[in-house]
Amino acid sequence: MDRIEENELTSFDSLAILEGLLFVAGTEGLTDKQIADVLEISESEVSSLCHTLAVKQQQEGRLFRVMQIANVWQLNTVPALTPYLRRLSLVPAPSSLSQAALETLAIIAYRQPITRAEIEEIRGVKSEKAIGTLIARGLIMEAGRAEGPGRPFLFATTPEFLDYFGLQSTSDLPPIAEIERQIRQNE
């Protein structure tokens, strides 16, 4: 009896950990290997664990679910939530952009597609919160992944961003190369 309970606890815990990890991973998702490494299980067990989690989420009536998309596992909302998201999208959210968000937006506009690490290198400070704000406001979006270790997400401005400024494409942004050159010379 004790043994069974212990196993149940362990299995329950792995599900909770798995769900927590997927929660933070967001749309980047996690691969079989990543999940297997963290939970110290074999890669072949990952799929079954994810399905167990999906069943648990369904049974508990949760409106987001683990699903496998393009070889990564990620948490996504289910269509039943859509009407509420539509309603939420119509509730006015705080509209002004912080200085940090504005800077981040400007960098993304001129240097897109760009990774978070590259943005942070240019700004010299962490920019996660600013990126979150810009995504939530529909000003930037994830646009593929960079090559290299970790294959981090690339960010780009949305079509709505261009529409707002009446631009056909980002190449219509006022040029900065000349100004940059002048700044460098003055330094």
Partner 1 sequence: MKEPQNYQISLQSFEGPLDMLLHFIESDKLDIHEIPIAKVTDQYMAYLNQSLEFELEIASEFLVMAATLIAIKARSLLPKRIEQNPQNPGDLDAENDPEQDLKERLLEYKAFKMVALTLEQKQVQRAEHIGRLPTALEPYRELPTVSDFLAGLELSHLQEVVLRVLTRSQKTVDVSVVRDRETIPERMNTILKTLQKGSTTFFALTKNRQRKEIVTVFLAILELIRLNKIICRQEAKFGDIWIELKKTN
User: Closest Cα to residue 73, out of 91, 56, 53, 95?
Assistant: 53
Cβ atoms within 10 Å, residue 30: 22
Q: Is residue 28 a contact point for a copy of itself (CB under 8 A)?
A: yes
| Binding residues among 109-128 for partner 1 as defined by CB under 8 A | 109-110, 122-126, 128
Interface residue with a copy of itself, options 137, 145, 146, 167 (CB under 8 A)? 137
Q: Is 144 in the site for a copy of itself (CB under 8 A)?
A: no
- Please give the size of the binding site for a copy of itself, defined by CB under 8 A: 64
DSSP string, 22-59: HHHHGGG-B-HHHHHHHHT--HHHHHHHHHHHHHHHHH
Q: Give me the DSSP letters along 157-183.
A: E-HHHHHHHT-SSGGGSPP-HHHHHHH
CB of 109 to partner 1, least distance (A): 7
Q: Which residue has the tokens 């079509």?
A: 159
The angle formed by the CA atoms of residues 152, 154 and 157, to the nearest 5 degrees, is: 160
The SS3 call for residue 129 is helix
- Answer with the entry of partner 1, a copy of itself, none that 145 interacts with (C-beta below 5 to 8 A by kind): none
Stretch that binds a copy of itself, among 46-54, 105-113, 158-166, 172-180 (CB under 8 A): 158-166
What residues have CB less than 8 Å from 78, skipping those under 6 apart?
63, 64, 65
Q: Which residues bind a copy of itself (CB under 8 A)?
A: 12-13, 16-17, 19-21, 23-28, 30, 33-34, 37-39, 60-64, 75, 77, 81, 84-85, 87-95, 98-101, 103, 123-126, 128-130, 132-133, 135-138, 141-142, 150, 158-160, 163-164
Q: Which residues bind partner 1 (CB under 8 A)?
A: 23-28, 67, 69, 74-79, 81-82, 85-86, 88-92, 94, 96-97, 99-100, 102-103, 105-107, 109-110, 122-126, 128, 131-133, 135-138, 141, 158, 160, 163-167, 173-174, 176, 179-180, 183-184, 187
